[in-house]
Amino acid sequence: MQDGMLDLPESTPIPTTLLTEHALEATDRVIDVQAVTRTYKLGAVEVPALQGVSLAVERGEFVAIMGASGSGKSTLMNILGCLDRPTSGHYYLDGEDVSQMNKDQLAGVRSRRIGFVFQSFNLLPRMSALKNVMLPLAYDHGQRNGHGPSHEERAREALERVGLGERLHHRPNELSGGQQQRVAIARALIQAPPLVLADEPTGNLDSKAGEEIMAILSRLNDEGATVVLVTHEPNIAAHTRRVVHMHDGRIVSDEVQS
């Protein structure tokens, strides 16, 4: 997954009614991808990255997407994260068709509905853990005329959920890699999004810290969070409840784990 917006296909008009009959029929689906393709143009050559992918993820699931380099898993995660749009097909996120939204609309969806956890943490080095977690709330204009918890209280609670209640004022360079990833998870949770997307969340960690991060994600899933992660490590995917394998831009297997 790229940390920024990818080049998007040209926009088409957005239907005035975004909540469709489909949304009403599938309210328990956080993700509903239908026959999605994504084709990139390299000069005169068209490169198909996704070829008719369909995937549904119910609320509260914990799913791993696996595949070799070039399998299409990163392209799919970009689309799921509203960092890119499909060339064709539909993507319903929490009941809303986001397939043909423009960049500004997608940015709004990302800020409200998706929590991201990146392999490289993406923390601001001069800010404390508390202020890093508060960053997504800078655009939360709904808070709220003094009503409800303050931004700082919400960030403090999120950090306590991931076991960093005593590291609130530490900067990233004062934290271990595992602790930095915990801060990133707390930041992803701060808006209570319907979906948490984690791109190789243990990729920069040693095995012990990686297991700790997966234990946190598993606990959050037990508490009701919907989590989808990309990984190439079978021992990491083993923590999830469902594993989707991709090859050459297609889903080749989709298995529920006992």
| Interval 83-141: pLDDT, tens | 999 999 999 999 999 998 999 999 999 988 999 999 999 999 999 999 999 998 886 65
Q: Is residue 203 part of a domain?
A: yes
The alpha-carbon radius of gyration of the chain (Å, integer) is 18
φ, ψ for residue 62 (rounded to 5)? -130, 105
Q: Work out the average pLDDT over 139-147.
A: 56
**Can you give the pLDDT at residue 19?**
41
How far from the centroid of its chain's Cα atoms is residue 79's Cα? 10
Distance CA 165, CA 183 (A): 11
**Can you give the pLDDT at residue 27?**
62
Q: Is residue 145 part of a domain?
A: yes
Distance CA 104, CA 107 (A): 5
Instruction: Please give the residue range of the domain that contains residue 66.
Output: 60-81+112-256
How far from the centroid of its chain's Cα atoms is residue 164's Cα? 22
Query: How many domains does the chain divide into?
Result: 1
Q: Tell me: pLDDT of 18 over 90.
A: no
Distance CA 200, CA 64 (A): 10
Q: Is residue 190 part of a domain?
A: yes
The CATH number of the domain where 203 resides is what? Answer: 3.40.50.300
Helix, strand, coil share (%) of the chain residues, nearest 5: 30, 25, 40
CA distances for 156 relative to 126, 138, 167, 168, 214, angstroms: 18, 15, 10, 7, 21
Q: Tell me: pLDDT of 166 over 60.
A: yes
Q: Is residue 73 part of a domain?
A: yes
Q: Is residue 141 part of a domain?
A: yes
Q: Is residue 31 part of a domain?
A: no
Distance CA 84, CA 234 (A): 27
Q: Is residue 98 part of a domain?
A: no
**Can you give the pLDDT at residue 15?**
39
Distance CA 71, CA 247 (A): 4
**Can you give the pLDDT at residue 23?**
42
Nearest to 210 by CA among 183, 170, 177, 244: 177
Q: Tell me: pLDDT of 17 over 70.
A: no
Q: Is residue 17 part of a domain?
A: no
Between 147 and 58, residue with greater pLDDT: 58
